Amino acid sequence: MIDFELEPQVVKRAELYHAVALNMMRSIARKYDEEEHTQPWDFFEAMWAASRQEAGAQPDSAERQGARAGGRSVETAVLVEEMCWGDAGLFLTIPGPGLGGAAVRAAGTPAQQERFLARFKGERPVWGAMAITEPGCGSDSAAVTTSAVRQGDYWVLNGTKIFCTAGQLAAEKSDGLVVVWATLDRSLGRAGIRPFVVERGTPGMSVVRVENKLGIRASDTAAIVFEDCRVPLDHLLGDPELKRSAGFKEVMATFDATRPIVAAMAIGVGRAALDFVREFLAAHGAPIRYGLPASRQTALEAEVVEMEVQLKAARLLTWRAAWMFDRGMRNNLEASMAKAKAGRVVTRITQKAVELLGPLGYSRELLVEKWMRDAKINDIFEGTQQINMLIVARRVLGYSSAELS
């Protein structure tokens, strides 16, 4: 039996995170949306100090961003939802291992995990990033062309990666790391793809561009070039022996951890818009009357109730995927279902919120239009809506990727 009744300590932490979202994130959300590429260092320092204060019995920032942590992924989803209720872009800037840390935990040996993640317990803010998408390789992660060639005691990486979340912060602004997915042997296809840790300051790694984006503008999204970038042999994560059973499966293991967290991000944004609409309507004499039969609801009430139903359905799918991950159960079907559902739901909710509020919703006076822009990325990154629906279809119907593509 799955029971998602939250424990009292989780409820208390969620209340604390909500206060942070309201008082520290909402107040600067518009500023860092309009001043893209300006980095909120006061916010970074405050969040880093808070994460260090929580260290010990509480989850660290790597666990907050989706790594397995002894049964804490549901809690992580709850807390991420609260933070993204505050601001999704700022959430993505919070110092910590991020997607890079999730990859280290999914693919690295215990010794590698301890060594590479130790830097995230220091005095100064540190970021991790993951580099997998390429100019000619988006949703089909198996088509990676960045190469890794062994030369003596080093791996030499060559290639270009794009759309790396927190890539600039990890590669240039802190003692961070970037986990790069590269192929050792293209003839092996997916099995030849392996992850490598590239630390800040490594010669041959350079940030060549930071994207201008529609939404989540507070978060840096970088293009990184690797040109004869030499990393030590032990920076290849996991078993150094190339096996056909490994490779691409490690990519998927990372996504199994992170897709429920991205879904939780979407739910936070959707809830922000939905909460605002309800409060706005109540303040203007049109509160939502719950408990009425559908025949007595106004069209407006029916719209809002349907939005609430869909958001709750996405949340339950997300919590189930996280619950399964915590228990070591295969969850790639559930992770993709949660990600696809949440991405679709948040897009509809935020668009409907703008529509219901009319010209005021479309104006920059309120954050509603910003939430609509922030929402769309949840339908794209960590696997597009179409890719996640394809994964769901393959699992439900029992087809391989070769049989259903």
Neighbours of 159 (CB within 10 A): 22
Q: Report pLDDT digits (tens) over 264-274.
A: 999 999 999 99
Q: How far apart, in whole angstroms, are the C-alpha atoms of residue 272 and residue 179?
A: 32
Q: How far apart, in whole angstroms, are the C-alpha atoms of residue 145 and residue 6?
A: 44
Residue ending a domain, among 235, 255, 282, is 235
Q: How far apart, in whole angstroms, are the C-alpha atoms of residue 255 and residue 315?
A: 18
User: E strands along 85-220, which residues?
Assistant: 128-131, 147-151, 154-165, 177-183, 193-199, 205-210
Residue ending a domain, among 177, 210, 235, is 235
Domain extent, residue 35, equals 1-93+247-405
Tally of domains in the chain: 2
114 is a domain residue:
no
Residues 201 and 256 in one domain: no
Residues 400 and 254 in one domain: yes
110 is a domain residue:
no
Catalytic residue among 81, 82, 369, 382: 382
Residue 65 has pLDDT above 60, yes or no: no
Residues 263 and 193 in one domain: no
CATH value at residue 189: 2.40.110.10
Residue 394 has pLDDT above 70, yes or no: yes
Residue percentage of the chain with pLDDT more than 70: 92
- Active-site residue, 172 included: no
288 is a domain residue:
yes
Q: Which of 60-69, 136-145, 222-231, 281-290 has the highest mean pLDDT?
A: 222-231
Nearest to 62 by CA among 12, 101, 88, 35: 101
CATH value at residue 81: 1.20.140.10
Predicted pLDDT at 403: 86
Predicted confidence band of residue 70 (pLDDT cuts 50, 70, 90): very low
368 is a domain residue:
yes
Q: Report pLDDT digits (tens) over 306-354.
A: 999 999 999 999 999 999 998 889 999 999 999 999 999 999 999 999 9
Residue 69 has pLDDT above 60, yes or no: no
Cα separation values, 25 from 47, 89, 254, Å: 11, 10, 28
Residues 390 and 311 in one domain: yes
Residue 195 has pLDDT above 50, yes or no: yes
Q: How far apart, in whole angstroms, are the C-alpha atoms of residue 200 and residue 355?
A: 45
Which strand (E) or helix (H) includes residue 97? none
Residue ending a domain, among 204, 235, 266, is 235
108 is a domain residue:
no
Residues 159 and 126 in one domain: yes
pTM of the shown model: 0.91
Contacts 24+ apart (CB under 8 A), 48-55: 48/95, 48/124, 48/125, 50/20, 51/94, 51/95, 51/96, 52/121, 55/121
Residues 301 and 400 in one domain: yes
55 is a domain residue:
yes
Residues 176 and 302 in one domain: no
pLDDT, average across residues 352-358? 96
329 is a domain residue:
yes
Residue 63 has pLDDT above 50, yes or no: no
242 is a domain residue:
no
Neighbours of 264 (CB within 10 A): 31
Residues 319 and 219 in one domain: no
Residues 213 and 257 in one domain: no
Cα separation values, 61 from 28, 54, 184, Å: 21, 10, 31
Predicted pLDDT at 60: 43
Which strand (E) or helix (H) includes residue 265? helix 248-283
Residues 63 and 138 in one domain: no
Nearest to 395 by CA among 302, 344, 331, 348: 331
Residues 128 and 158 in one domain: yes
Residues 370 and 290 in one domain: yes
Q: Report pLDDT digits (tens) over 216-235.
A: 999 999 999 999 999 999 99
Nearest to 217 by CA among 38, 19, 4, 58: 38
Predicted pLDDT at 137: 84
Q: Give me the residue label for tokens 């092996």.
A: 188
